């Protein structure tokens, strides 16, 4: 879903500054704020609610883990190619 908002310049600058500090696109940062707002407004009150919250958060953590694994694989490949000085002739595959 796309939403267009007219934000005051101060709020827009604050969003961009904080997203940049966290190395996130502004859209991802806004999604995190909205997701966190739900938890803060209605925190888990029972063990079952807490488990449900962590199960939903697990999806995000798995995506993050896969991205980190992909980056590490690319670094290892780059290091091998650089050590063999074949980086100019070998294709570089991304995840």
pLDDT one-digit tens code per residue, 27-85: 888 888 887 777 777 788 888 888 887 777 777 777 778 888 888 888 888 888 777 76
User: Angle at which helices 9-21 and 26-41 pack, to 10 degrees?
Assistant: 100
So where are the chain's domains? Answer: 7-43, 46-95
How much is the pTM?
Answer: 0.44
Question: What are the φ/ψ torsions at residue 66 (nearest 5 degrees)?
Answer: -65, -40
């Amino acid at each position: 879903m796309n939403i267009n908002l007219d934000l005051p310049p101060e709020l827009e600058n604050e969003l961009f500054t904080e997203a940049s500090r966290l190395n996130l696109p502004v859209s991802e940062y806004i999604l995190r704020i909205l997701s966190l707002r739900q938890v803060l407004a209605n925190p888990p009150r029972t063990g079952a609610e807490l488990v449900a919250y962590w199960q939903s958060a697990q999806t995000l953590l798995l995506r993050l883990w896969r991205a980190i694994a992909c980056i590490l694989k690319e670094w290892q490949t780059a290091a091998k190619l650089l050590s063999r000085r074949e980086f100019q002739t070998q294709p570089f595959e991304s995840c």
